[in-house]
Structure 1
Amino acid sequence: MTSLPQVHLVDDDPDVRAGVSLLLRSADFRVRSFADATGLLQAITPETAGCLVLDVRLPDMDGLALQARLQERGILMPVLFITGHGDIPMAVRAVHAGALDFLEKPFDDRVLIDGVGRALEVDRRQRRRREETTALRRRLDALTPRERDVLQGLLDGKPNKRIALDLDLSVRTVEIHRSHLMHKMGARNASHLARLVLDEGAAGYGEEA
């Protein structure tokens, strides 16, 4: 089960951790704080929901290295960096590597609160998208080999008669396979089926061999 969304704050300065945690909790965010990257990496998994607020400079690794380590582990939570004046070039590189934003210390409280709110919404949308894609792949895996053949023909825009000819089947048999696969995929019609498969990026479908 996916955990409840939390803000995961990493900063080696105890005063900053305490102040930022208090600020975010006052805005009704759930917060976990860590003094270093190692503590964070031991506490979260790809299933952990929420966002990350990271100091660019940490005692055990810098923000870019931590960001890369998280991505290697499949931890894709949105990242907000907080940075001192001299760390801005590193923070810019972090944004180019996928971080959502960076804030220069001292930052405005409202800017941080708004940024965290956006990051949590991004995480929610991304997780919903991944869940939908996973569910679609399960439905695709439930298709029989012949239903997959018919599906590919439909995605290629072929009518039932053409699919029947290509597969050396009767039109009635193609219609039966089509009905079964539409039911398994939860598709209302052929155009809905195409949107389900192609919009979710199901690998191997809708592409020329």
Structure 2
Amino acid sequence: MTTTTKTASGDDGSLPPSIVYIIDDDEDVRQSLGSLLRSVGHRVEVFNSPHEFVDARRENIPSCLILDVRLRGESGLAFQQSITKIAPHIPILFITGYPDFEMSVKAMKAGAMDFFSKPVREQEMLDAVTQALRRDAERLSFESSTAELRGRYESLTPKEREVLEFVLAGLLNKQIAYEMHVSEITVKLHRGQVMRKLGAQSVVDLVGQAQLLGLKPRTPSRRS
């Protein structure tokens, strides 16, 4: 590997909490990659085999996995398939000392982010790791936001949820009132609570949130 000075840090020079896992049965490769990544501020954990990785405790922070294709007695490609049970979303960067086009195509089709031949070019690996960690950070942020939104939705009363479903169907307040056998002012109050609890600023916001939650409009049961 050639020496590089470019780091993967942000504009302020710091790195967000994240971790890079390395699985390779070649100690020299583990040490070389580990040293490279640590030199630019990454936290790194190395493993001799997939079994060690499976048994290790993993934190719920942005992460990625650098995985050797050919491991002693095991296949990195086979492990890529089984890892979906323990870390289904982790971005995988494959490395191999025996480049094979069909193998790389198979890995990429199965979801790998990149495929590198040994010896790895340092800057290419650093760039790929930065991209992988960024993608995983975006996923975790999205999941966190969705979980928070789900909690807000759960705080709605049954009547508020019913109003929300009619709003998603495009009904006006007077039409919703007709469907629910309540006054229009009652609908307005429920609708205001829905907007407040979900933190929506407009109907467009409301529709976007409903889509994230997988909510469906309620079909009017009567002509209104």
Match for 1:130: what amino acid?
E
In the alignment, which residue of structure 2 is the partner of 1:204? 215
Q: How far did 1:48 drift?
A: 4.6
- In the alignment, which residue of structure 2 is the partner of 1:183? 196
Corresponding residue number in structure 2 for 1:103: 116
Alpha-carbon spacing, 1:108–1:206, altered in 2? closer, same or farther (3 Å): farther
- Cα deviation, residue 97, structure 1: 1.2
| Alignment correspondent of 1:166 | 179
- Superposition pairs for residues 21-40 of structure 1, below 5 Å? 21-40=34-53
Equivalent position SS for 1:81 = strand
* C-alpha distance 207-165 of structure 1, shift in aligned 2 (>3 A): closer
- How many residue pairs get aligned? The number is 205
Amino acid of the residue matched to residue 97 of structure 1?
Answer: A
TM-superposed deviation, 1:169? 1.6
User: Which amino acid in the other structure matches residue 103 of structure 2?
Assistant: M
Identical positions, percent:
37
Distance 1:36 1:72 in 2: 17
**RMSD over equivalenced CA pairs, Å:** 2.1
CA distance in 1, matches of 2:23, 2:154: 40
| 1:18-42 superposed Cα distances (whole Å, 9 cap, x missing partner) | 1111111112211100000011111
* CA gap 1:186/1:55 in 2 versus in 1, 3 angstroms: same
TM-score (ref. length: structure 2): 0.84
- 2:6 aligned residue: none
Which string of whole-angstrom CA distances, capped at 9 and with x for unpartnered residues, describes residues 163-207 of structure 1? 111122211111111111111101112221112222x2x123348
Which 5+ residue runs of structure 1 have no aligned equivalent?
none
Instruction: For 1:49 and 1:19, locate their aligned partners in 2 and report how far apart those are by CA, in whole Å.
Output: 22
Q: Which runs of 4+ in 1 moved over 4 A?
A: 206-209
2:147 matches 1:141? no
* Change in CA separation of 1:42 and 1:161 when aligned onto 2, cut-off 3 Å: same
Query: Which aligned pairs between 1:71-86 and structure 2 lie closer than 5 A?
Result: 71-86=84-99
| Structure 1 Cα separation of the partners of residues 180 and 75 of structure 2 | 57
CA distance in 1, matches of 2:173, 2:83: 47
Bigger proportion of residues as helix: 1
Which residue among 118, 135, 140 is the counterpart of 1:122? 135
Of structures 1 and 2, the one with the larger relative CO (CA 8 A, separation 6+) is 2
SS in 2 for 1:85: coil
Q: Which amino acid aligns with 2:167?
A: L
Q: For residues 16-74 of structure 1, give each alpha carbon's deviation from its aligned partner in whole angstroms, at most 9, with x where no partner exists.
A: 00111111111221110000001111114472531111111223532232222221234
Q: Distance in 1 between matches of 2:69 and 2:141?
A: 29
